[in-house]
Amino acid sequence: MLIPLFRTHELQDDAAKGIEIQGKQLFAVRKKGEIFLYWNRCPHIGTPLEWEKDKFLDTDKALIQCATHGALFEIGSGRCLVGPCRGKHLKPVPFELADGTVSVAEAELLRG
């Protein structure tokens, strides 16, 4: 079963959006029209990444930034470029995009 998360028009380019569903925390980033979805957990210590609601990006909106220790991650790959988790990756969440809605499989939420 697919669970809808948000409509694509709700996420502007160079922006991020936190999502809580079934007790799980995820976040989406839109860059150059492409959407990326990750679990909202730093690979270093497992803390949520944002410092304020929907604030996941650095000041240039070029990288994802961890609020706990300032680690920087590539948006497209989730790879940590700077910080104590350097070389590790954010865990992506597979999703489906249909009719302007981003959805995830319920089984995927159980895995996370």
Q: For 67-102, how does the pLDDT look when each residue is reduced to its tens digit (9 = 90+)? A: 999 999 999 999 999 999 999 999 999 999 999 999
H or E element that contains 18: strand 15-21
Question: What is the CA angle 30-51-92, rounded to 5?
Answer: 40
Q: How far apart are CA 7 and CA 83, in angstroms?
A: 33
Report d(CA 74, CA 3) in Å as an integer. Answer: 26
Per residue in 30-43, pLDDT tens?
999 999 999 999 99
Query: What range does the domain containing 69 cover?
Result: 2-111
| pTM of structure | 0.95
* CATH code of the domain containing 76: 2.102.10.10
Query: What's the CA angle centered on 38, arms 51 and 7, to 5 degrees?
Result: 90
Provide the number of structural domains found in the chain: 1
